[in-house]
Chain A
């Protein structure tokens, strides 16, 4: 377990209330180098937490420090941070090259260095050929890349990505996740990645913090979540009840899942047991596939979990 002294980002007893609405409720965690995912459903408090860390919102209670500084009190630390917002943030009437140069200057880089960095960052984001086109004509995928590029253009120590795959098609989503992985593994920039998609976080992050209704319900290395969230989904044409009996007789945990059955257990031997049970129950198999646990299930299971901490 890594101590909080190595933390890039620390929350201690962090709360944020909007009148009667509690967005964050006594949240404590710390984030070290690497890619950390903040996972939660809409309204769980992910964006609120990010905005507090960036100094855009003031916490009702508790402390939030980034790179050892309270951002609300020392704006200069923001020159070491990058932020990719969830929503649109790009002007339509300027080119990506000009916009990134401007954003690099606003981050404190001298004009000549800003121009060089803008071109380099756009090349890494895969937009080098398109950099002189006005951004009004960009596709959603290209806009997401520019949003990421502007967060990286000043070479921050840490970057906050708020739902970076929002609105992307599967191919675009895959490319964006690749870029996020590259951001840490090749560029050496630590990432705090907020998402409501378990699959995105699982495939990209080293560690996960799960937020629900403003509280940390789980946190830890991504393998912990992956191993525990695998199930096998089975759908048969007939003899479903006989199949359940046959599976239970073999000691396999089964639960109803819509029109099929969810068989618990990541162990590969479960497939042999399912095969034998199908034969015994004479149940014609329509579909069998591994399935990740739905995020809602994860939250349901962890309702009573308390706050935790992230370790590398």
Chain B
């Protein structure tokens, strides 16, 4: 081998080895442009939300919430299994035990708190640290950035809401005498829970990211969102039952925790235990769906507008 101009030979053992400093190498490979940039921001968003590749404490919160949601699903599956064994195949329905249609109603507050605590991680640190300056000078627009972050958190939220439902489905299948017969009788639950979970994920993500777009402090966004979800429930429930009538129904619509659960009820065709006491359940399907869309599409549009022309 011929020694190059930048070759450095070892001080000892001459002739036994050589180290080559090849210097700076120009990049001559492919540049994949905007789609690669979007995908990179999306992947980074998923990693940030779940704490993947981050220090241990970043994994603790999402891990705890996912575990809690799984425990609820497993508890429901075990209760249904025990009822089937003790009473028979009709046991769960005789005892009116909660199932897929009830899960999101029961777990909604935990899902919302997860969204409130983890969602702001998508946007706040980039603006707080100034990293947004580096994104916006790359082949990426503000719209690309915020859509990629939104898609990342919707994906994470979808996994978070689907996973316990799938565990519940497997639990209910295994709890009965014939898992395949259960599946053939209840196969429609699968698309329903996926669709309902997507609606829940999109709603939570949009509100969480919109709030996060107004502050660089993740904690402020989280506290505001938790307050919004937790406080509106008793406030609107009490006021709606006090006033009653059509006005009570509309006041009940402002229970932010129930908005996607009403959609869940429409998808499953039955009222869940959480919304059974909400006067808004008596409103027509088109109003309930329109209300859901209003609370998802409008905040989404505001979020997009805030980032569309963002300058550092």
Q: Please report A residues at the B interface, Cβ cutoff 8 Å.
A: 51, 54-57, 75-79, 81, 83, 85, 87-94, 98, 102-103, 105-110, 113, 117, 120, 124, 134, 150, 154-155, 186-188
Contacts and interface: CB of A to CB of B under 8 A. Distances in A.
Contacts of B139: 75-79, 107-108
Given A93-B58, A107-B138, A187 B37 contact: no
Given A91-B125, A94-B53, A102 B29 contact: no
Nearest to B31: A108
Given A103-B134, A155-B26, A109 B36 contact: yes
B56 to A, nearest CB: 11
A89 B25 contact: no
B31 A109 contact: yes
A75 B312 contact: no
Given A55-B137, A106-B37, A107-B138, 9 more contacts: A88-B130, A92-B129, A102-B40, A103-B138, A105-B40, A107-B31, A107-B139, A108-B139, A109-B36
18 contacts: A54-B137, A78-B138, A79-B31, A79-B138, A81-B137, A83-B137, A85-B133, A87-B133, A88-B130, A89-B134, A90-B129, A91-B129, A94-B53, A102-B44, A106-B135, A107-B37, A109-B31, A109-B36
Contacts, number: 112
B55 A56 contact: no
A91 B29 CA distance: 28
A150 B27 contact: no
A146 to B, nearest CB: 11
- The CB with the most chain B CB atoms within 10 A, among A89, A105, A106, is that of A106
B311 A51 contact: yes
Nearest to B33: A108
Contact of A98 (B53, B58, B125, B126): B53
B20 to A, nearest CB: 13
A188 B26 contact: yes
B27 A117 contact: yes
B8 interface: no
Interface in B228-267: none
Nearest to A156: B27
Contacts of B24: 120, 124, 186-188
Interface in B19-55: 23-27, 29-34, 36-37, 39-41, 43-44, 53-55
A106 B311 contact: no
Given A76-B139, A79-B31, A85-B130, A94 B23 contact: no
B276 interface: no
A92 B48 CA distance: 13
B215 interface: no
Contact of A75 (B27, B31, B133, B140): B140
Interface of B: 23-27, 29-34, 36-37, 39-41, 43-44, 53-55, 58, 125-126, 129-131, 133-141, 311-312
A81 to B, nearest CB: 7
Contacts of B34: 75-76, 108
B41 A113 contact: no
B312 A106 contact: no
Nearest to A160: B137
Nearest to A103: B134
B258 to A, nearest CB: 36
B138 A89 contact: no
A193 B102 CA distance: 61
B107 to A, nearest CB: 29
Query: Considering the complex of A and B, which 8 residue pairs feature the smallest CB-CB distances, nearest first?
Result: A155-B27, A105-B40, A89-B130, A108-B31, A83-B137, A79-B139, A187-B24, A106-B40
A75 B145 CA distance: 13
Contact of B32 (A109, A150, A155): A109
A108 B37 contact: yes
B31 A89 contact: no
A55 B137 CA distance: 7
Given A76-B34, A89-B134, A93-B58, A106 B23 contact: no
B36 A76 contact: no
Given A91-B125, A124-B24, A155-B27, A79 B33 contact: yes
Contact of A56 (B26, B30, B44, B312): B312
Contact of B36 (A83, A93, A108, A187): A108
A56 B36 contact: no
B40 A110 contact: no
Contacts of B134: 83, 85, 89, 103, 106, 150
Contacts of A51: 311-312
Contacts of A154: 27, 31
A306 to B, nearest CB: 30
Contacts of B58: 93
A246 B2 CA distance: 67
B141 to A, nearest CB: 6
A113 B36 contact: no
A88 B31 contact: no
A89 B137 CA distance: 12
B37 A85 contact: no
A77 B141 CA distance: 12
A110 B32 contact: yes
A69 to B, nearest CB: 12
B218 to A, nearest CB: 12
A56 B23 CA distance: 33
A87 B312 CA distance: 11
Contacts of A188: 24, 26
Nearest to A120: B25
